Amino acid sequence: MTRHLSELVLLTSVLWICVAICQFSLAFSTLAWAIVIKYGIPGAFFTAVLLLIVGLWNLYVAITRIVASKKIKEQHADITAMFSNINPIIHNGIFNLVLGAGIGVIAAIFDLYIRKILLDNAPLFRRR
């Protein structure tokens, strides 16, 4: 069970990396577009910066999921604490929804599913 759960968490990290790459690409193309037209649209620069920030956040989420995957595989007792708070998952889903990253919303929903499975199987991680 822990191996399967570890693989699911690793899969969600791949989704978050894909989201981050898409946001970085969109941010850099928006920034390039804003520079080419000599800042004719002031919102373009702001949008690019916002996309870069959220892209970096999604990359951070991906890295934490990779670490979590290893901890799940090793059955660390502190892994349930990592997933017990639902707020970061909800906030990340909302950020991605606002910025139009549909795959980010899907990844957040997948994170909620993984969280449920992990917390339902919490006794597996408490025996160490």
Q: pLDDT (tens digit, 9 = 90+) per residue, 86-127?
A: 999 999 889 888 876 678 888 899 999 999 999 998 888 865
- Nearest CA to 53 out of 8, 101, 13 is that of 101
**In angstroms, rounded to a whole number, what is the distance separating the alpha carbons of residues 128 and 28?**
46
Q: Is 43 helix (H, G, I), strand (E, B) or coil?
A: helix
Residue 87 confidence (pLDDT): 93
Residue 62 confidence (pLDDT): 92
**Which residue has tokens 């822990």?**
2
Q: pLDDT (tens digit, 9 = 90+) per residue, 52-61?
A: 888 898 899 9
- Nearest CA to 68 out of 127, 18, 19, 16 is that of 16
pTM of the model: 0.81
Contacts with 40 (C-beta within 8 Å, 6 or more apart), sequence order = 34
